[in-house]
Amino acid sequence: MALLELHDIVKSFQKDGKPVRVLDNVTVSVEEGKCLGLVGQSGCGKSTLARIASRLTEADGGKILFDGSDITELKGNGLRHVYDGLQMIFQQPESSFNPRRLLGWSISEPLRRHGVSEGDCRERTAQLLREVGLDTDYAERYPHEVSGGECQRAAIARALALNPKLLICDEITSALDVTIQREITALIRSLIEKGMTCIFITHDLALLNDVADSVAVMEKGKIVEAGSTVDITSHPKSSAARELLEAALFEEGFEG
Ligand SMILES: Nc1ncnc2c1ncn2[C@@H]1O[C@H](COP(=O)(O)OP(=O)(O)OP(=O)(O)O)[C@@H](O)[C@H]1O
């Protein structure tokens, strides 16, 4: 069953006083318990699509179905309820944490908002830190006192706090070096093996071999190819997928 379905999503932004179409009738879905890789060159519309899926940006047209409900027009409390089940993680984890708050405070913030007691928050934070491979004493550190990879793990812990059904990961490994990238994709994959559903956005098609079950390739606001990760990374049909694969292989060779 599809957990998230996007149908005929259309979006334009104003540029120099004129509307420029950045998403052109995009239809894509992700099955429950699976990971969809969304890949494309910079500027092709990946982040805009992710933000529309999580209702952070309004679409001009189309329909969004999440967990069997039409959430396209939801507002207020209805939308807050959706956010409990759908979490987004971004490229720069440091900037998503309050620099003046300990990581433990930020990770448990969604729980506190739901009225969970301080004692239970502490216990759940320790459990979440262990789940993402961090020692529990990371709760007592500030965002600037941890590495980029550790901070991204903490951001994943915070996203997991309310047991969401869907994680949307927008270029979450782009700011990390290759070894740490692999650790983070392995962590996301382990969450999927435990039942999580995920949309993993990247410009690195080769990275999707580690994490995604299926791939949708975007080019200039359209999905130009979709299929299983194995098929697309071994026999890409579109020129967009071929170019992304060549770029990823070149980068890999360059990094040794
Ligand atoms: N709020 C906005 N206002 C105006 N234009 C925008 C806005 N957000 C995105 N765009 C434009 O929409 C297009 C798609 O941007 P988007 O960030 O979705 O691409 P992307 O594929 O995620 O790129 P990247 O990989 O570089 O993050 C770009 O041309 C971008 O400049």
- Say how many Å lie between the CA of residue 238 and the centre of ligand 1: 22
Question: How many Cα atoms within 13 Å fall on the side-chain side of residue 190?
Answer: 11
Same-domain check for residues 11 and 56:
yes
Among residues 108, 141, 164, the one where a domain terminates is: 164
Same-domain check for residues 96 and 159:
yes
Q: Is it the case that residue 256 has pLDDT exceeding 60? A: no
- Per-residue pLDDT, 253: 67
pLDDT per residue as tens digits for the range 204-213: 999 999 999 9
Q: Tokens in use for 103?
A: 């990581």
Same-domain check for residues 88 and 160:
yes
What atom in ligand 1 is closest to the CA of residue 23? 14
For the Cβ of 40 lying below 6 angstroms from any atom of ligand 1, the answer is yes
At 189, which amino acid appears?
Answer: R
Same-domain check for residues 86 and 47:
no
Q: Is it the case that residue 143 has pLDDT exceeding 60? A: yes
**What is the rounded CA–CA span in Å between residue 28 and residue 197?**
14
Q: How many domains does the chain have?
A: 2
Q: What is the DSSP letter of 137?
A: G
Same-domain check for residues 31 and 92:
no
- Per-residue pLDDT, 254: 60
Same-domain check for residues 131 and 92:
yes
Its domain, for residue 41, covers 1-67+166-174+196-256
Q: Which of 123, 131, 127 is nearest to 153 (CA)?
A: 131
| Mean pLDDT estimate for the chain | 94
Q: Tell the residue number behind the tokens 């950045």, with chain if given.
A: 22
- Per-residue pLDDT, 80: 87
Q: Supply the CATH number for residue 142's domain.
A: 3.40.50.300
Arithmetic mean of pLDDT, 34-41: 97
ipTM of the modeled complex: 0.96
Q: Tokens in use for 256?
A: 């040794």
pLDDT per residue as tens digits for the range 216-226: 999 999 999 99
The model carries a pTM of 0.94
For the Cβ of 42 lying below 6 angstroms from any atom of ligand 1, the answer is yes
- Say how many Å lie between the CA of residue 45 and the centre of ligand 1: 6
What atom in ligand 1 is closest to the CA of residue 91? 27
For the Cβ of 221 lying below 6 angstroms from any atom of ligand 1, the answer is no
Q: What is the DSSP annotation of 8-52?
A: EEEEEEEETTEEEEEEEEEEEEEETT-EEEEEESTTSSHHHHHHH
Same-domain check for residues 93 and 158:
yes
Q: How many residues does the chain have?
A: 256
Same-domain check for residues 231 and 253:
yes
- Say how many Å lie between the CA of residue 46 and the centre of ligand 1: 8
Question: pLDDT-based confidence at 77, cuts 50/70/90?
Answer: confident
Same-domain check for residues 97 and 135:
yes
Arithmetic mean of pLDDT, 148-152: 95
Angle (nearest 5°) at CA 208 between 205 and 214 = 105
- Per-residue pLDDT, 255: 60
